[in-house]
């Protein structure tokens, strides 16, 4: 699966239109895997306003986002257009307080 220009544009749009964007299995109301659920629980705990894209409903994005970010796993968190990481990275940033700052900066801008 190659990241076509059309697919890259779709992903670019999702990331640029939403200050905080999560590519995940399931959605914010019904996460479909534990790692996705971790990210959602953390964002909810921070009171963040965010959007999700369910990769299970979109095979093109499910594969394309991995090439886009050069990150092999789902979920993937983007804040202000920047790729932050997956579940482990998000947990670590949350525990050391960095994620809260990123979220506050994004939502204030």
Q: How far apart are CA 20 and CA 56, in angstroms?
A: 19
Task: Read off the pTM.
Answer: 0.96
Domain 5-108 fold is: Glutaredoxin (3.40.30)
Q: Give the tens place of pLDDT for each residue, 44-101.
A: 999 999 999 999 999 999 999 999 999 999 999 999 999 999 999 999 999 999 999 9
Q: Give the tens place of pLDDT for each residue, 87-106.
A: 999 999 999 999 999 999 99
- State mean pLDDT over 26-37: 97
Q: Are 36 and 24 in contact (CB under 8 A)?
A: yes
- Confidence at 30, pLDDT banded by 50, 70, 90: very high
To 5 degrees, how large is the angle CA 32–CA 35–CA 40? 80
Give the domain ranges of the chain. Answer: 5-108
């Amino acid at each position: 699966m190659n990241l076509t220009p059309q697919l890259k544009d779709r992903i670019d749009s999702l990331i640029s239109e939403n200050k905080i964007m999560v590519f995940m299995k399931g959605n914010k109301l019904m996460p479909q895997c534990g790692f996705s659920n971790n990210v959602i629980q953390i964002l909810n705990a921070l009171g963040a306003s965010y959007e999700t894209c369910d990769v299970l409903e979109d095979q093109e994005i499910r594969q394309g986002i991995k090439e886009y970010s050069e990150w092999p796993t789902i979920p993937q968190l983007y804040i202000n257009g920047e790729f932050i990481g997956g579940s482990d990275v998000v947990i670590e940033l949350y525990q050391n307080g960095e994620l809260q700052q990123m979220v506050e900066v994004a939502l204030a801008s």
